[in-house]
Amino acid sequence: MSRRSHTVAVVAFDAVQLLDVTGPVEVFTTANRYGADYDVRVVSPTGADVVTSSGLTVGVSGSLSSLPRRIGTLLVPGRRDWRAAVGDTDLVDTVTHLAGRAERVTSVCAGAFVLAATGLLDGRRAATHWELARELAVAFPGVRVEREPVFVRDGHVVTSAGVTAGIDLALSLVEEDWGADVARDVARQLVVFMARPGGQAQFSARLAPGQPRHSAVRRVMDHVGADPSAEHTLDSLAAVAGVSARHLGRLFRTEIGMSPGQYVESMRMEAAQVLLEKGGDTVEEVAQQAGFGSSESLRRAFQHTLGVSPTTYRARFQSTAGSRRVVAA
């Protein structure tokens, strides 16, 4: 654990997502109240204040020249229009330069695209917002994109998922630097999870791949999507596709990266999620309607895929009412 002052350099730029910046900054500065010693500097490539995605202006500490020679942690937030961010040569050059001076390099949400543009993520595992994971993988094929984790560490580089995941990332860094007790105090103060239960899959309605090229795969996907609860065997799906079962398996793995059986379960998971979010049926009834057969099978699938039970998922995503305390007048 660190027992010395640790400089955190946050690179801000126009149209940056506000919470990508302020969430981690709040974690680090709150940690100072509990014994940490972070010197947090928000800088911009030009040294000028920046206008964030929400229209609010963020004041910066200065330009690169205001930073010490060695940086403890470099944090790169994201911009929703990641193409504009990676096309900003001043920004990419700034991050490239600072990364060479940092003991640890991190990103929040679409900040991973900027790190990828510097080449720092080549050959590394990385995370970003679940909606952007496919775009990151296509734009930077040298990056091993992981869709599920809230944050991913690969060597001295740590990348996180979307927006509020920057808080999870910062808490993990506080724990690494100053211990679990300090991180726990910060989490309590900010009223957030010390470790968020489940991964990104619980926040995405569908992580399924895009439109496949092969017509046989499209036919099977349409067939399963029309009724996920039906009895879909490999042989019956092969009959729908008009190919052999073995060939269908090869096509699915090539086109969408999973077996036909895994695709069926993913569609049943999606159906169950929708039923839990929008209806009042029991878990057993949801399991039957979605094609899982029993509530126990549904629970196992939810725990394996989302890291939470169906009941917890419903409470978390059906309504905000469950988190409110109602005080009678």
User: What pLDDT does 233 receive?
Assistant: 94
**What is the pLDDT averaged over residues 6-34?**
96
Q: Which helix (H) or strand (E) holds 6?
A: strand 6-11
Instruction: Compute how many other C-beta atoms are within 10 angstroms of the C-beta atom of residue 280.
Output: 9
Full-model pTM:
0.66
Q: One of 85, 91, 109, 114 is an active-site residue; which one?
A: 109
Condensed to tens digits (0 to 9), the pLDDT of residues 185-222 reads 998 898 776 665 555 554 544 444 556 788 899 899 88
- On average, the pLDDT of the chain sits at 87
Q: Which two tokens stand for residue 18?
A: 């506000």
Instruction: Identify the weakest region by mean pLDDT among 46-60, 72-86, 177-191.
Output: 177-191
Task: List, as one string, the DSSP characters of 50-112.
Answer: EE-TTS-EE--SB-GGGS-SSEEEEEE---SSHHHHHT-HHHHHHHHHHHTTEEEEEE-TTHH
Beta bridge partners of 11: 43
User: What pLDDT does 3 receive?
Assistant: 58
Sign of CA dihedral 150, 170, 22, 62: negative
Nearest one of 293, 316, 321 to 306, comparing CA atoms: 316
pLDDT at 324 over 50: no
User: What pLDDT does 43 receive?
Assistant: 96
Q: How far apart are CA 251 and CA 263, in angstroms?
A: 12
Q: How far apart are CA 173 and CA 158, in angstroms?
A: 9
First to last CA, the chain: 49
Nearest one of 212, 172, 211, 210 to 193, comparing CA atoms: 172
Q: Which amino acid is at 300?
A: R
User: Quick check: 271 and 283 in contact, CB under 8 A?
Assistant: no
Cα 213 to Cα 87, 216, 225, 289: the distances in Å are 30, 9, 17, 30
Q: How far apart are CA 125 and CA 158, in angstroms?
A: 9
Q: How far apart are CA 233 and CA 282, in angstroms?
A: 27
**What is the pLDDT averaged over residues 256-279?**
85
User: What pLDDT does 329 receive?
Assistant: 34
Q: Which helix (H) or strand (E) holds 157?
A: strand 157-160
- Residue 326's pLDDT band, with cuts at 50, 70 and 90, is very low
User: What pLDDT does 161 receive?
Assistant: 87
Instruction: Compute how many other C-beta atoms are within 10 angstroms of the C-beta atom of residue 90.
Output: 11
Condensed to tens digits (0 to 9), the pLDDT of residues 98-122 reads 999 999 999 999 999 999 999 999 9
User: Quick check: 192 and 46 in contact, CB under 8 A?
Assistant: no
User: What pLDDT does 197 receive?
Assistant: 55
Q: Which helix (H) or strand (E) holds 75?
A: strand 71-76
- Residue 314's pLDDT band, with cuts at 50, 70 and 90, is confident
Is residue 234 annotated as a catalytic residue, yes or no? no
